[in-house]
Amino acid sequence: MAFLTWRDQYRVGLERIDREHRYLFDLINRFHDGHRGGAEPRELQRMLNDLVQYSEEHFRHEEETMLENEYPWLSAHCGMHEELYLAIFRLSEELAADSSSITMDTHSFLRNWLVSHILTHDLQFADYLATRAEQATRDQDASDAAKAKGGDEAKGAAPHDEA
């Protein structure tokens, strides 16, 4: 059984972000399986480095998407990404210095980091996008109704007599 299992409740509704989240799950599962399976410290270090590098890439994509969508909490979200990145970078450095420093607490941290960040902060962004899309639809409907009303009034107007 996988250490981390992807669930639909983790979906934010943006295919690229969801695909990257699933890949982060895979990276953490590989690290977990490697550690539990007795992988060499060098291999565990490579796995953790992959996680660090991919996390940085994912955070950049997520932040670009937030910027494009004028997410009002972008700055705070970027700060959380920086904290998370530094935490997994420190784990990588600790492993490089002492492979015995990896415990089940390390695995729990990685699982909790990813799942709680997605469920709390990334889904907040998804809610923001949904609300924005609903507002855009209401605005478009109101605009269409106003145009239709204006067109109806023009059709019903009496012709002007010209003398």
Pull the structure tokens for residue 84.
């998370």
Cβ neighbours of 7 (radius 10 Å)? 11
| pLDDT (0 to 100) of residue 15 | 95
Do residues 7 and 115 lie in contact, with contact meaning Cβ atoms separated by under 8 Å?
Answer: no
Owner of token pair 């709390």: 120
- The span from the CA of 59 to the CA of 65, in Å, is 10
Lowest mean pLDDT among 50-54, 103-107, 142-146, 155-159: 155-159
What one-letter code names the amino acid at 80?
Answer: M
- Cα 15 from Cα 91, distance rounded (Å): 29
Angle at 122 between CA 62 and CA 14, to 5 degrees: 60
Q: What is the structure's pLDDT at 77?
A: 94
State both tokens at 112. 């909790």
- Region 47-55: mean pLDDT is 91
pTM of the model: 0.80
13-135: CATH topology: Four Helix Bundle (Hemerythrin (Met), subunit A) (1.20.120)
> Residue 118's closest CA among 2, 24, 1, 15?
24
Question: Percent of the chain, pLDDT > 90?
Answer: 50
